[in-house]
Amino acid sequence: MFGRSDDEWDLLLDNAITVLKEEAGRRGMTSYSKLNTELVRRTGQPALDFSLARDRTAMGRLLGQVVEQTRAENGGMLSAIVTYIDGTDPGVAS
């Protein structure tokens, strides 16, 4: 998916969930760039390149799957704490 094997994608997803739960537990926010950097650090996989439409779409899909897998447990959307780097509103990677 998006140039990643199923195992690589699952690793990204599992780590995205962990990162966002940790941040939410601190009542914090993060940016798309910070999440991307943290996923690289934790998984060793190449960063998503937000200048590419494919990789912007990949981040959107990844966050959508985070919500699908955690919404019932959390009662909310973990993706809502991901914002543009210079903003405080949730959005999509651009």
Q: Is the dihedral of CA 61, 76, 33, 16 positive or negative?
A: negative
Q: Does some domain include residue 13?
A: yes
Q: Which domain holds residue 34?
A: 6-83
Q: Does some domain include residue 93?
A: no
Looking at the structure of the chain, the number of domains it has is 1
CB 33 within 8 A of CB 91: no
Q: Does some domain include residue 42?
A: yes
- 94 residues of the chain, pLDDT tens digit each: 899 999 999 999 999 999 999 999 999 999 999 999 999 999 999 999 999 999 999 999 999 999 999 999 988 899 999 998 765 555 544 4
Q: Does some domain include residue 92?
A: no
- Which residue, 29, 58, 60, 63, is CA-closest to 46? 58
Contacts of 89 (CB under 8 A, 6+ apart): 83
Q: What is the pTM of this model?
A: 0.88
Tell me the HSE value of 28 on the side-chain side, using a 13 A CA sphere: 11
Q: Does some domain include residue 91?
A: no
